[in-house]
Structure 1
Amino acid sequence: MTKCVAIIGGNGKVGKYLVEQAIEKGYRVRILSRNPKQKHVNDESVTVIKGDARNYEAIAQLLRGSDVVINTIGQPKGERSIFAEVTSQILIAMKQENVNRYITVAGGSLTLEGDKKTLINRIGATLFKLLFAKMIKDKEKEVELLKESDIDWTVVRLPFIVDQQEVKVIKEDLFNMPGTKMTSRNVATFLLRQIDNKTYIRKHPFVSN
């Protein structure tokens, strides 16, 4: 049976390529959107669910009949950090709807146990934490929620995202950010690869071009 991918953040700069590439790979796609008119593609394999990612009923409806959840939601401007709150709702809905695979993203500045960052990356992470302390704390809480769960999760840590043509090389590292930037198309490609790839289950790899 064709797998169904539930995408949160499908209208974002990575999400739109996630949707396009998922369709190309033959997946059925369900997208959560506060404004369904922003839908980037017209395809019979795509279902758009209207709702907010902080609303449990909307998340539960999105996950109904899905096999995997990919979350690339961004931080709403002018609002408090929402990442842990959204993931908390997703985890409850995943248990209810019997979905076990969850893939999400974070910035490379997020420092976690086991990291072996270079000096320049440690300095960058420290500066980012000073500037965006509440958001970093919220992302740390999100990771803790995932570690406390029993699902197959992956947190992909990203460098600066650029909207350029996809390139051939994707670098991967469990301990340190291997580059400074990555195309949004390459991010989408890597995230979709994780659906069936067990290498990074319950891990938080760094990736870049």
Structure 2
Amino acid sequence: MKTIALFGATGPTGKHIIEEALKQGYSLSVYTRDAKKLESFAGRVEIVVGDLSNQDAIAKCINGADVVISALGPNGLKVQGDKPVMRGLTNIIAAMKHADVHRLIQISTAAYRDPKDSFAFKAHAFALLFKVIARKGYEDIKATGELIANSDLDWTLVRIPNLKDGPANGNVNVGWYGKTKLSMKLSRTNLAKFLVNQVEDKAFVRAAPAIADR
């Protein structure tokens, strides 16, 4: 049984990731600043408490894991400090290297451009609007993507549109902006299923696919 170290677990998407990973038979080491937010999973997952600057706690979460899934992203429109997600991932990547863990699956958005992308009006407009209304968040996502893509890890950046609640029906399109028909909506449960599937699926190693509901 493989173990997943999960970061960003207490957001609206994180709990779906936990449920999907347990459903698929994985064990979980889950990182959080507030263990109370994961009370419903007590006894079913290992809970490690700390913030993204606590290198010892991050190492504890990752040690013994086979893969890291990160649902970390800017928290709303007000980003505290300079690129907090990128700085957190810097600590996570350092802990991964120390623990000899190579697989990293990270949520991203169209703010990170992939060389395989062509011009896509909706995705470009979405990224531009986000840049205007939440510049710090946009820059954090972009810098986080670049940090991971330039690492020597077996990484996958899963680029997402607007998230919504909905069933995990698996009806998604996956590809690159400007080359694949991609809507601007994605259910959190479909995202969770896709993320967990990447633990074994090697099709998108060192790639940044975009995903959306059909």
TM-score under structure 1 normalisation? 0.91
In 1, the alpha carbon distance for the partners of 2:13 and 2:156 equals 17
Please show how residues 1-209 of structure 1 align to structure 2 within 5 Å.
2-39=1-38, 41-42=40-41, 44-76=43-75, 78=78, 79-80=80-81, 81-176=83-178, 178-209=182-213
Distance apart, 1:12 and its partner CA = 1.2
SS of the aligned residue for 1:57 comes to helix
Partner SS for 2:5:
strand
Conserved in 2, the CA contact under 8 Å of 1:111 and 1:125?
no
Q: CA deviation at 1:194?
A: 0.5
Q: Displacement of 1:93 after TM fit?
A: 0.2
Contact (CA 8 Å) 2:157, 2:208: kept in 1 or not?
A: yes
The CA RMSD over aligned residues, in Å, is 1.8
Deviation (angstroms), 1:43: 5.6
Contact 2:107 2:158 in 1 (8 A): yes
CA distance change for structure 1 residues 117 and 98 in 2, over 3 Å: closer, same or farther?
A: same
* CA distance in structure 2 between the partners assigned to 1:10 and 1:171 by the alignment: 24
Gap regions ≥5 residues in structure 2: none
* Paired residue type of 1:191: L
**Following the alignment from structure 1 to structure 2, what is the Cα–Cα distance between the partners of residues 127 and 5?**
34
Structure 2 Cα separation of the partners of residues 110 and 85 of structure 1: 17
Q: Is the 8 A contact 1:13 1:163 kept in 2?
A: no
Aligned mates of 2:112, 2:43 — CA distance in 1 = 38
Decide whether aligned partners of structure 1 residues 138 and 203 sit closer, same or farther in structure 2, where only a CA change above 3 A counts: same
Q: Which runs of 5+ in 1 are unaligned?
A: none
**Structure 1 residue 175: Cα displacement:** 3.2
Check conservation: 1:49, 1:62, Cα contact below 8 A. yes
Structure 1 residues 73 and 120: CA distance shift in structure 2, 3 A: closer
Q: Which amino acid in 1 is paired with 2:190?
A: N
Give the SS at the match of 2:208: coil
Separation in 2 of the partners of 1:114 and 1:168?
24
Partner amino acid for 1:125?
A
